Amino acid sequence: MRRFAADRARRAVAASLRGAAASRSAAASPLAPAPRHPAPPVGAAAMAAALARTMSTAAAGTPPVSLNTINPKVLKCEYAVRGEIVTHAQNLQQELQKNPDSLPFDEILYCNIGNPQSLGQQPVTYFREVLSLCDHPALLDKSETHALYSSDAIERAWQILDKIPGRATGAYSHSQGIKGLRDEIAAGIAARDGFHASGDNIFLTDGASPAVHMMMQLLIGSEKDGILCPIPQYPLYSASIALHGGSLVPYFLDEETGWELEVDELKKQLEEARSKGITVRALVAINPGNPTGQVLAEENQKKIVEFCKNEGLVLLADEVYQENIYVEDKQFHSFKKIARSLGYTDDDLPLVSFQSVSKGYYGECGKRGGYMEITGFSPEVREQIYKLASVNLCSNVSGQILASLVMNPPKAGDESFESFMVERDGILSSLARRAKALEEAFNSLEGITCNKAEGAMYLFPRLHLPQKAIGVAQAAGTAPDAYYAKRLLEATGIVIVPGSGFGQVPGTWHFRCTILPQEDKMPAIISRFKEFHEKFMDEFHD
């Protein structure tokens, strides 16, 4: 009897657990996404399942998971920065290791990704001292520690530990990150912008990517939810929108004017999307630009803020390159600073700023630290964002500490200040020189034109390819810029990303190349590149 009752109860809970699901399926919508492979009617599904069951027990049965059965959104997603060309490069690298003389070069040069330390950039000493101490707090009680670490790094480690409940760097933190570190970041933002910032608005994340995914997950419910994205764009955005099943609404940056972001273009694309029944939820602005390297003018940023305010859009501001500016006449302004300087408050505009420890002069990609500052969301919506953060518990605490350090680096008077500034300025001025050298090299070549890299870590040169090269590529089923990139890799070991991975005006061809190889290697890289390019152009001369 007791068993029977339990059985009935189990059926009841099973039904209730599926209740919400069933009620959501009740209403049909003309715009609801259909699965890639429409489901057979229920009876047929049961039969198919029975068949699959039989087959899976057979020796050469159909595997339970195939490209036909996985989530079609995953299939649709593309991420060129680590795509086909990089896999090819990794294979060549293995070949080189086995047989160093097998290829016409002796190393692979990864210019595909903004990963400075992989190309020899050294970490900032002070930051690493503090991390090392926080990882092993027992050191702080030992006198020998002073022989190995600067005194302000020791002091800073103490301050950080005091902000962590129980000084436990190995504990899950608050899901937004450790409160004291968030407050420190907020103080850094306030000092940067001249406007108030609150630690309550900071969400610490494992790099900027999970923060972008979190916002896309929040904002996208179906394909009728659109996100305005620049073209060319950093493919994290197209990948994330695809994974969450939304619509990427492209707006085009203008190559002729140095990749300017024109508000007329935004308006046109917004209206076009709306006329197709897409509700545009947000606008992504990447400043400084990736892959394009432009730095937005203050006046331009104001127009973008006004546009988002008037159209009721969330402004998703990718500001991870905020420290990477290489021209005298431009400086970085956060979109929040612009909005506040226009008099807009939390009530006027939902705004998210993404920041990362992977970029800047620090380039600590492997540490996976970052944050988003969110303002202008209602308490109920913030609660939903918090819930999303809490499902993954928290971001890694070393990354959290590093995020607080980059937003509050050593100050004048600190023991490490001078050596810190030497390291910092050395990296930034070298990056500026490298950007200039590469840009000049590209522009010196027939068939390449290249805008200046005002900021970020990339150049995005345009390839004016001979018709014959385009024909050969297309006959091989490859985009012409992908064909060019493959040939470059095979001839020189240099890895770039074809423009087709970022989006571009159809009929134009580009590639993204980082400015990150160390300066002493630059002349050799440039001459290898030139040699390849000239041969390539000769080979396909019209």
CB nearer its own copies, residue 292 or residue 358: 358
Helix axes 263-275, 298-311, angle to 10 degrees: 20
Cβ nearer to its own copies, comparing 113 with 339: 113
Q: Judge contact between 187 and 208, C-beta under 8 A.
A: no
| Identity of the residue, 314 or 537, whose beta carbon is nearer to its own copies in the bound complex | 314
Closest to its own copies by CB, 144 or 329: 144
Q: Tell me which DSSP letter residue 284 carries.
A: E
Least Cβ distance, residue 130 to its own copies (angstroms): 9
Question: Residue 241: how many CA atoms within 13 Å on its side-chain side?
Answer: 22
- Distance CA(512)–CA(496), nearest Å, equals 6
Angle, in degrees to the nearest 10, between helices 236-243 and 209-219 = 40
Q: What is the DSSP letter of 204?
A: E
Kindly state the smallest distance separating residue 380's Cβ from its own copies, in Å.
5
| 38 cis-preceded (ω within 30 degrees of 0) | no
Q: How many residues does the chain have?
A: 542
Neighbours of 151 (CB within 10 A): 12
Pick the closest to residue 81 from 89, 93, 91 (CA basis). 89
Whole-angstrom Cα distance, residue 252 to residue 268?
11
Tell the smallest beta-carbon distance from residue 535 to its own copies (Å). Answer: 30
Nearer to its own copies, 207 or 498 (CB): 207
Contact 532, 491 (CB under 8 A): yes
CB of 337 to its own copies, least distance (A): 20
Q: Quick one: 300 or 358, whose CB is closer to its own copies? A: 358
What H or E segment, with its residue span, contains residue 247?
strand 247-252
Q: In the bound complex, what is the minimum distance in angstroms from residue 355's beta carbon to its own copies?
A: 16
How many angstroms separate the CA atoms of 415 and 151, rounded?
7
Nearest CA to 456 among 510, 501, 399, 514? 514
Q: Are 230 and 284 in contact (CB under 8 A)?
A: yes
CA 489, CA 105: separation in Å to the nearest integer?
10
Work out how close the CB of 148 gets to its own copies at its nearest, in angstroms, rounded to a whole number. 5
Output the smallest distance, CB 239 to its own copies, in A: 5
User: Distance (Å, rounded) from C-alpha 314 to C-alpha 319?
Assistant: 15
Shortest Å, Cβ 485 to its own copies: 17
Nearer to its own copies, 1 or 21 (CB): 21
Asked if residues 178 and 195 have their Cβ atoms less than 8 Å apart, the reply is no
Do 494 and 467 touch, CB atoms closer than 8 A?
no
Nearer to its own copies, 439 or 451 (CB): 451
Please give the DSSP secondary-structure letter assigned to residue 367: G
Q: Which is nearer to its own copies, 467 or 527 (CB)?
A: 467
Q: Which is nearer to its own copies, 255 or 439 (CB)?
A: 255
The least CB distance from residue 327 to its own copies, in Å, is: 26
Instruction: Measure the CA–CA gap between 507 and 230, rounded to whole angstroms.
Output: 18
CB of 424 to its own copies, least distance (A): 15
Q: Tell me whether residue 344 or residue 536 sits nearer to its own copies (CB atom).
A: 344
Q: How far is the CB of 302 from its own copies (least distance, A)?
A: 16
- In the 3-class helix/strand/coil scheme, how is 74-138 assigned residue by residue? HHHCCCHHHCHHHHHHHHHHHHHHHCCCCCCCCCCEECCCCCHHHHCCCCCHHHHHHHHHHHCHH
Nearer to its own copies among residue 125 and residue 408 (C-beta): 125
The CA distance from 260 to 253, in Å, is 6
Tell me the residue type at 400: Q
Burial of 237 (0-12, 13-18, 19+ CB in 10 A): buried
Minimal distance, residue 440 CB to its own copies, in Å: 26
Which residue's CB is nearer to its own copies, number 56 or number 429? 56
Least distance CB 510 / its own copies (angstroms): 13
